[in-house]
Structure 1
């Protein structure tokens, strides 16, 4: 904003609208007289052309007040929000709220440079009501979808693990289905085993790797030759271990082979198009390990600082000045041969010309190199700018030229002809590869193609020695799970969502608990399976990929003025020849069996069920089918595709550590047992058991002894005193804890001593938020649980002598890193009240669920802090002022 002000001069006052100033009302903001109407249900008057009921936030109210103040002295109002649907809608909302009496113009720009800003002032336009209608239609569509379908999830999938946090969204549901479908493929996948042989061919001291390709003229099986069921897709020879080892021995005995073919093929590679929003997110994920959300946050900062063009675009086109700048920089850095004779032209795939801006590129008529801007950017901004700069320059460079040579070596292996091949690629002209090469997603099958090695000069008829012969075992693998980068790619390919929404889509399905991250991989939860199943069986169109993409096309058509907002919404909601109608689907759902929906058979007598507190296995005893089934919890870190029948049996057969008897408390004669409960492992004192109820070999209480005695119907149970319990320390294990340690835990809180000044008793104990000392109402946190037993009175008094919140907190950090480049303060990982978090002393960022503290490195810590800064402080709970939407003024 300061840059724009400086470019425009003192004749202008530049103020920020800070995003949307109003939105559809929540139910609590609906006036009482509208509660019983459709406005009360959705904040949309469905009976009256889907008229939305907007409310103005307190932040929006302050913004409007400030803008009205500035308007009193103004001769003209320029609305300079982003030139996309959201930006146009924000401009329209401002116009509705401000009701200006001065001329109003729409100003748009795609980079914050002096020339771009001055040019934008000279080329203003009218507000585009078609874009406004498209955004409003999307917002209404999402509200109707979410508020009609989400309650079905709450009732049928269950309220456990977040309860009403479960939600259905137009694009998030399709994205969740993508991740679940991939996991289903992995579950159904049948692995196939095969063997091959590798060796090193040698000529005059040079050595290169060769691999068995054919045996007696028939190709040897590779991973790509098997389908998802483990069956062969073509006629090949599958080597087993016996044959492979015998053949390897025969090749070793032969010692050499003859070159039967040397084939050289030239090829070219063209550069990649400049970045769109989605390709930038993909590459930032692959090369910089940035989440889509974090990449967009960094790109936003680069745009606002004037270093790149607008970062929400699906266009690959470059302006004439950008093409000239890229070519000039390529020539300057790599020579005249680095660029082709004619500039490269990339065409956008977008049908919506209104939103197809320029590609993401360095701003200005001439590009600044990463070295020239490094002092003005933080670490993440430098890394992303470097990526954008390289991609843009490379996009205007010449094709890379290469030559791939393939050598075939035939060896007589005990009467069988074994043909080995080797490939090597040599670039004769690197072209654009001097500047940039695109990253790749994880590949399946034979990842090592061997075409990156250097081959010596050989000719047909040459005899080559062979050594280091090795028979190797392989197994086919399922498709890899989606990463954020590959999911963004899939969303774009299927037309689900818009490039500007991909980051928020992924963030939503993670925050809802439908997906967790394991490293870079996105792993669906069992809740996601139930949600997707419910939608597939009862709302099939709403999670159909083609249907979801068609909705995006329809919204684009509204943005182009080819369809009318009200007619389209009426068709979608009430139905017509094109749509069944969301209202019709919801009103005719019929019965949904929630228990069946949340169940999945694993093996005979074993069923996976999703309960209130998470997934578990239900085991029915074949010999006693009428008995209550046994339950076994599923570990939280077990991915769905890992729950095989064999793994389920392993969980069922695992010893029940939760009821292991440690011994007898000599003070009261009660039995001390260790249990593994809902909130973690703990020890407990129980009344003595009948010796027959305890397994003498394992010390485990038998299942029959755990059941409470039956009582007659209507009989009043006597209130038994609650047994003493104590949680295990984090450093303790249910498998190794002994009686002595258990008794020490049960004796807590421990009296440390008496404060000589106040006379108050100081105790050490473990609490919900960790170990601490207590003296009256004054408490002090301890650094480690073991201190509960070890700290003496002198140490406790020393701790109380320190400020309650002081420098001693640094010692409680779980991890410590270097200084943050933004704040300049050291970065630490701490264990807080609501779990582990990253902090630099100014900004606190919670470590997302599913990520392990041990896996948090300096780079990830900086990313979490940057994301939190970009998100800004949590909004305060405030009241809202309701406003109704007025019909937009007609365009002239």
Structure 2
């Protein structure tokens, strides 16, 4: 189907950026408007069917037009009246097809309608797409409708039960819940894992004047344990290995140091390393998230911007295929930049491993038939960084393999066998480009270069060092590794990975700790409920089968009705969601799902020489600890809420439970009968003699000396009164010490020595004197001092204040006079404030 370029045409895309970009390539007869995403969605308060899905009438969905789009739709209808043809140019995936279908139903055009698709926004691609339109693909529309129906029936069906049984407001979802299960299962694996300690013995050897490292690997017939010698799931040492104790390792080190070992064997191995496939959505999210240290959601937003502005091809795809145009452009650029020696002998192309890959039909790559080098794009910041990653990955696919040579050597000394290996790059190939794009923490750890050795050669053991190690449980997922796992398990599609992670974080089922995804107690409770009541629906196989079923609908191999009938009403080997919802509602008791079982906890601890049993429970206010200890003051068994910002199920212990239920158990004497304790709101101090309590500082990074803690218990106190009998009161609060004078508060840096006169001086515009930590005398005729300021130690030189590094702030006593002089002389001068002329009104 060919749209006529001479006719007045209304073209609709999703975003304003996309609209502006393609307008540049189209004739003046075309008007491009943006729908701003979906224009209609399922009714949130449906009047028909079950949750807006008519299960008895072919699973018809009840749609409502987005009220915020009313004026935009009105404008589109007005533009359409004066147009001779309508071109729907939304993305070529299920969501894009659905948007076009809704626009068609809402606008009800009387002119010819064309469906225009493209995978990159370049002049040639847009002109070609305009000349090669097609009809709306109703299979894609039906697949999107089936997906929405499943999500609505499962989400609206299970979530109310989840909330009712647990108390509070919780939600479940078709792909969200299996995603949560992955994170929770990994945390349970970590709890079941038993860490072990072992020692390695590493030596420095020398031959022909060259030093190199080696490691003890055998003692007689026994293999010496390394990290890979322990079972990944249990942490148990595998059979055939011995774990060296530090004492045994030190004994062997003393025995072998200074002796000579003989080369037992030399093995040479050639290795060919091929470049990675071009980017799909999943691999882009993984690679770019690691390199750029950004969330998957942020990576996709940057990619969307690059696509809509014509820099890369469509960013939602599970196909690594490259067009012939792209391969040619990449090969031309490789030869231009690196010469023919680095060009692969023949063009490389790649096929999707997933037979259902059909979100889009080409990998993510630079747009066009001539790739702009990063420095030619005019991009900056994150846009430039992501474009560069995509450009490098694409070019690398058309470069030669890297050639490496690895040498492994075994050395024998009495009953001991040592191993050493070295790798040299004989020809870098694609690594010449791709290595530059790899982050330091992702680079292959290069092994040392070995001297030329043959069996029987003698080498000297120059030194021997023992290193202690502790085995680590399976690593938690970060966003990149979770995307990889979601893809391998068939959970979701490229367009949903970022949304799955965002939903888990937004609902606080998972939180980020040092870039790791850590499940919360709420997340554990939700997963536990779903596992015990709806195990099929959080199963990885079921979710994967559902995705494949949706792919079949998109490919025209199955109908929406047949697919949804099996899901809702069941089949020979499956109850169906409707029956399962009824069963859980009628049979599962609230008490059965409100208590959490975590591997490794005994749920008992000692208090006052008696056993206290506790459980982890949940209510509408969140998770809490319940115990069988009767609290006489409260008149009931002791219960305390769980601080989910501080405690996590993956690391929670019985001792944690004891310190939460009985904070006095963890009390530490600070000074003269004053104890530091930890309660539900943080650190506080308690004086044993009278029970007086003083709360700690709100800023947890700041600490108080024992002397200042003791002083805080003596406050508030009067520092004296001025001539008008206005008192100056010294007070301690959540932000530290301060003085109150004439209704105003003034921070106090030196509470032990501050006087009434000091505060009055500050109130009159003077500066507060800070305590002197060290006085270095005069330096170039100006006093040089180390002072203790409001925000920590600093150097004052005359009128110049000089900040300290974080390390020096933490250890100010280590600062010498020479250090102080250097800091003072190198500190930048304070910039003078610019004075602006005061404007006056004209009379």
* TM-score of the alignment, normalized to the shorter chain, above 0.5: yes
Contact kept? 1:199, 1:466, Cα under 8 Å:
yes
Residue 642, structure 1, aligned to residue 651, structure 2: yes
> Is 1:296 equivalent to 2:291 in the alignment?
no
List aligned pairs for 1:23-422, cutoff 5 A.
23-27=41-45, 30=46, 34=47, 37-38=48-49, 42-159=51-168, 164=169, 166-227=170-231, 228-252=233-257, 255-352=259-356, 354-373=358-377, 376-412=378-414, 417-422=415-420
Equivalent runs, 1:765-844 vs 2, <5 Å: none
Using the TM superposition, name which of 465-474 and 788-797 deviates more. Answer: 788-797
The match for 2:616 among 609, 615, 626 is 609
Q: What is the CA–CA distance in structure 1 between the aligned matches of 2:543 and 2:588, rounded to whole Å? A: 26
Q: TM-score with structure 2 length normalisation?
A: 0.77
Q: What residue number does 1:19 align with? A: 37
* Alignment match, 1:530: 525
Q: Tell me, yes or no, if the aligned pair for 2:318 and 2:358 is still in contact at 8 Å.
A: no
Tell me if structure 2 keeps the 8 A contact 1:404–1:426.
Answer: yes
Provide Cα deviations, 1:397-433, integer angstroms capped at 9, x if missing partner: 1111111001111112xxxx21111111111111111
Match of residue 594, structure 2, among 594, 597, 604:
597
Q: 2:534 aligns with which of 516, 527, 539?
A: 539
Contact 1:198 1:471 in 2 (8 A): yes
TM-score of the superposed pair, with normalisation by structure 1:
0.73
The residue that corresponds to 2:800 in the other structure is none
TM-aligned CA distance change 1:634 to 1:45, over 3 Å: closer
Q: 1:294 and 1:494 mapped to 2: Cα distance?
A: 23
Residue aligning to 2:823: none
**Cα distance between partner residues in 1 of 2:648 and 2:326:** 47
SS of structure 1 residue aligned to 2:467 = strand
For these two proteins, the number of residue pairs brought into alignment is 722
Q: Displacement of 1:136 after TM fit?
A: 1.1
Rounded Cα–Cα distance in structure 2 between residues aligned with 1:190 and 1:38: 52
How do 1:615-630 and structure 2 match up within 5 A? Answer: 615-620=623-628, 629-630=637-638
CA spacing shift, 1:5–1:575, aligned 2, 3 Å: same
CA deviations on 1:740-795 (whole Å, 9 max, x unpaired) are 64675799xxx9999xxxxxxx99999999999999xxx99x99798999997998
Give the corresponding residue for 1:434. Answer: 432
CA-CA distance at 1:51 after TM superposition: 1.5
Aligned 8 A contact 2:631 2:637 in 1: no
Distance in structure 2 (CA, Å) of the matches to 1:345 and 1:582: 43
- Deviation readout 1:465-512 (Å, 9 max, x if unpaired): 112202222222111000000000000000000011101110110111
Structure 2: how far apart are the matches of 1:623 and 1:126?
73
Are 2:598 and 1:587 equivalent residues in the alignment? no
Three-state SS of the structure 1 residue aligned to 2:32 is coil
Cα drift, residue 695 of structure 1: 5.3
Secondary structure of the residue aligned to 1:38 is coil
Q: Secondary structure at the match of 2:311?
A: coil
In structure 1, distance between residues paired with 2:496 and 2:665: 47
Structure 2 distance, partners of 1:793, 1:169, is 63
Moved more, 329-338 or 631-640: 631-640
Partner in structure 2 of residue 481 of structure 1: 476
Distance of 1:753 and 1:588 partners within structure 2? 81
* DSSP 3-state at the match of 2:326: helix
Change (3 A) 1:334 1:136: same
Q: Name structure 2 gaps, 5 residues minimum.
A: 1-18, 605-612, 767-790, 792-843
User: Using a 3 Å threshold, how does the CA distance of structure 1 residues 482 and 783 change in structure 2: closer, same or farther?
Assistant: farther
Structure 1 residue 261: Cα displacement: 1.2
3-state SS of 1:655 partner: helix
Alpha carbons of structure 1 residues 653 and 774: separation in structure 2 relative to 1, 3 Å: closer
Distance 1:478 1:472 in 2: 19
Distance in 1 between the 2:396 and 2:211 partners?
35
In the TM superposition, what whole-angstrom CA distance separates every residue of 1:69-102 from its partner, at most 9, and x where no partner exists?
1111111100000000000000000000000011
Q: Distance in 1 between matches of 2:124 and 2:486?
A: 36
Distance 1:151 1:752 in 2: 66
Q: Which has the higher contact order (CA 8 A, sep 6+)?
A: 1
1:432-581 → structure 2 map (5 Å cutoff): 432-437=430-435, 452-581=447-576
Structure 1 residues without counterparts, runs of 5 or longer: 665-671, 685-693, 702-723, 755-761, 800-813, 815-892
Q: What is the distance in 2 between the residues matched to 1:391 and 1:449?
A: 17
Distance 1:794 1:61 in 2: 64
Structure 1 distance, partners of 2:81, 2:739, is 61
Equivalent residues of 1:728, 1:745 under 8 A apart: no
Q: Aligned in 2, Cα 1:771/1:291: closer, same or farther, shift over 3 Å?
A: farther
Is the CA contact (8 Å cut-off) linking 1:513 and 1:525 kept in structure 2?
yes
